[in-house]
Amino acid sequence: MRTIEAQQITDTVARLCMEANYHLGVDMLAAFDHALKTERSPAGREVLSMLKENARIARTERLPYCQDTGFVICFADVGQDLHINGGLLEDAINAGVRGGYTQGYLRASIVEGPFRRKNTGDNTPAVVHTQLVPGDRLCLRLMAKGGGCENRSQFKMCTPAEGLEGAKAFVLDCIQNAGPDACPPLIAGVGIGGTFEKAALLSKRALFRDIGTPNPDAELATLEHDLLNEANTLGIGPQGYGGDTTAFAIHINTYPCHIASLPVAVTIECHAHRHRQAIL
């Protein structure tokens, strides 16, 4: 049995919150560069150039890339042989969010209840998803999820008869409906299978794969590739000003289904795709 201190989790989460908000991933920067070569729309290319410059300023001045510094979503994969000393895992993560958002001059965007909309003042609580895994390590995958794009995420309970074509049509529908509102170029995390909540979780987890890395499953890799090509014929383009770069990536995770069901969840993510991970 290995032991780590809750404080170590708190310190790590605080660091990840700040890094995610100041440093856009190299995969995203590469996606900007690639799109600048293929985008036909002058307005679209100008947007992409501004986003590159935005990322540079954010990185060099430790200024948030986007003013919506997000809802913190934390996937904590806890090794079965790990013991956390000195507090609850979720409390440690929330303390890290509190510290990171306060010390890092990040925006407090969470209200304490859906109707009594009083800001909690420190961006807590996070949404924490914990699962037990083999080993004695703790893997923290953290995302700062913007509200504008999350508002365009959708779920549909397709029927088995609708099948692959039905699922594809729904994913493209979601991107079409997200349109300019969700800050394209977008990334779509897609969860297919399981149940209502399982599909949604799969769709969130799918966003943690690096952009440009193919799905390890060859069949899904082809599906992702085809869907991305179709999404980029919609004409929405960067910021919706018209263009060829509507989406940077579509990432799919699947799970076994009930004989009656074909659940499809689509998490819409904006170009401010801020995520970080650490293993303790």
Partner 1 sequence: MATAEMRLLTPPLADRDILGLRAGDQVRFSGVLLTARDAAHKRLVAGLDAGQSLPIDLYGQVLYYVGPTPPRPGMVIGAAGPTTGGRMDAYASKLMALGLKGMIGKGGRSRAVREAMQQHGCVYFGAVGGAGALLSKYIRSAEVVAYADLGTEAVRRLVVEDFPGIVINDVYGNDLYEDGRRTYAR
Is residue 263 within the footprint of partner 1 (CB under 8 A)? Answer: no
Q: Which stretch binds partner 1 (CB under 8 A): 124-132, 144-152, 188-196, 248-256?
A: 144-152
Q: Which stretch binds partner 1 (CB under 8 A): 79-87, 178-186, 207-215, 259-267?
A: 178-186
Rg (CA), the chain: 19
Note whether 244 and 41 are within 8 A (CB).
yes
Is residue 236 within the footprint of partner 1 (CB under 8 A)? Answer: yes
* Burial (CB count within 10 angstroms: exposed 0-12, middle 13-18, buried 19+), residue 242: middle
3-state secondary structure of 61: helix
Nearer of residues 176 and 222 to partner 1, judged by Cβ: 176
Nearer of residues 79 and 185 to partner 1, judged by Cβ: 185
Task: In angstroms, give the least distance from the CB of 270 to partner 1.
Answer: 6
- CA nearest to 145, candidates 194, 238, 74: 74
Note whether 64 and 55 are within 8 A (CB).
no
Among 8, 41, 154, 261, binds partner 1 (CB under 8 A): 41
Nearer of residues 128 and 174 to partner 1, judged by Cβ: 174
How far is 224 from 222, CA to CA, in rounded Å? Answer: 5
Three-point CA angle 147, 150, 155, nearest 5°: 155
Is residue 29 within the footprint of partner 1 (CB under 8 A)? Answer: no
Task: In angstroms, give the least distance from the CB of 86 to partner 1.
Answer: 30
How far is 203 from 263, CA to CA, in rounded Å? Answer: 11
Q: What are the residues whose beta carbons fall under 8 Å from the beta carbon of 161, sequence distance 6 or more? A: none
* Positions 60 through 99 that interact with partner 1 (CB under 8 A): 61-69
Among 16, 17, 51, 97, binds partner 1 (CB under 8 A): 51
| Site for partner 1, rule CB under 8 A | 40-43, 46-47, 50-51, 53-55, 57-58, 61-69, 105-109, 117, 119, 121, 146, 148, 151, 179-183, 233-237, 239-244, 270-272
